[in-house]
Amino acid sequence: MPTVTDDSLAPPITRPGQGRRLLNLSPFRGLPREVGVLAAVAFCVAAGFGIVAPAIPVFARSFGVSRTAAGAVISAFALMRLTSALGVGRLVDRIGERVVLGTGIGLVAGSSALAGLAANYGQLLGLRAAGGIGSAMFSVSATTLLLGSTTSEQRGRAMGAFSGGFLLGGIAGPALGGIITGWSLRAPFFIYAGTLAAAGSIGLVLLPRHEHAVAAKKASSQAALGILHALRLPAFRAAAFANLADNWAAVGARSAIVPLFVVEALHEPPLWTGIGFTVFTLANIVTLLAGGRATDRRGRRPVLLVGCLVSAAGTALLALPPSLPLLIGALTVFGLGSGLLDVAPGAMMGDVVGGRGGTVVAGYQMAGDLGSLAGPLVAGYLADSAGFGTAFAATAAVLVAAAVVAFRAPETLIR
């Protein structure tokens, strides 16, 4: 009989990997087909978003609005993604992942195409907000399906493959997006809709027709895990806090503060921001696969601890007296730690949830979205009021706090 170290974790309803077609292509070897399909879907979604992202604020400004209003278009997407997540989780539990995934991608695709036709700022703002709801539908349903389709011993590698699809798409999209934006401010929205249509087609055609969440609910309705129950479990709290801290650091410290740090503290051209971000992403990719294997072999808790502490160390290095070599070294260390945090928290959360709770997956996603929203605001305020060093040090403190919570959590890997 499989054993877990947390008595509050219910035993799995089934072993999802049994009786399914397994993949032989590395890094998907031995994983269910759903993992490869969802990684391909993630690549298309991320590549399309990378293409449209450079155009969004510029297109908003073309309507004669302020920089703050242009930023609100991006914030509206994130805010609706955050506030709709729990409702989406309940929808996944009720009608199944595959339907919600296809509907969500369709909503983002349709709103993106219409945004390309927007005649004024209000239309653009409303359509991007609608896209945020669709994004929540996609991400919650895809993660629920990924975790419900894999056994505990597969989830680390599955999360690594899924995150890798997003990372590779994120690398491919922005370079092309900059070129297209220079040609037309509206074209990226239509291309984004096209890549989303491709992602939806891949999912609807290649994902199995069965609905894992619905089947699990019918098989054992009393085993469905709710968000309030999950919050009482130390393992879920550790996974959610780590997801919040990673997004706080990756969006708050890296995306929002590092570009300003390069220009204002190092007095270097923005080119070095791009180089630093590329180094971060490459380091992230390096640890995704290795971290996934370690998570499935050694356990979630040690990888989670190492990821938090390494990310904290990389961020803390940025608080030292600034220099260009230190920036590159710090982002390399930060990227290595962040790669581990792309796999271990999700695998730990999957052990808690199994295939039994779309609302719990939604709660985990909300923690990450909250970090993405709060991180830039807090880091930006501290950078303005106390300097870049204080902003980076505070971000490192959030990661250390996540490590403390992880240290107190049980191991959840089911052997």
Q: How confident is the model at residue 26 (pLDDT cuts 50, 70, 90)?
A: low
CATH superfamily of 33-220: MFS general substrate transporter like domains (1.20.1250.20)
Phi, psi of 244 (to 5 degrees): -60, -50
The pLDDT of residue 9 is 45
Domain parsing of the chain, residue ranges: 33-220, 227-407
- Residue-wise pLDDT tens digits, 179-188: 776 788 898 8
Mean pLDDT of 400-414: 94
Q: For the whole model, what pTM was predicted?
A: 0.82
- Per-residue CA distances from 88 to 35, 148, 222, 280 (Å): 21, 17, 20, 32
Task: Say how many C-beta atoms besides its own lie within 10 A of residue 404's C-beta.
Answer: 12
- Residue-wise pLDDT tens digits, 235-285: 999 999 999 999 999 887 888 888 889 988 999 888 888 888 888 988 998
Highest mean pLDDT among 246-260, 283-297, 312-326, 371-385: 312-326
Highest mean pLDDT among 74-78, 120-124, 249-253: 120-124
On the CB side of 337, CA atoms within 13 Å amount to 30
Return the HEC string of 335-350. HHHHHHHCCHHHHHHH
Mean pLDDT of the chain: 85
Candidates 3.90.79.10, 3.40.367.20, 1.10.238.10, 1.20.1250.20; correct CATH number of 227-407?
1.20.1250.20
- Residue-wise pLDDT tens digits, 284-294: 988 988 899 99
How much is the CA Rg of the chain, to the nearest whole Å? 20
DSSP state string for 186-251: SHHHHHHHHHHHHHHHHHHHHS-SS-HHHHHHHH-GGGPPPHHHHHTSHHHHHHHHHHHHHHIIII
Q: Does 33-220 match 227-407 in CATH topology?
A: yes
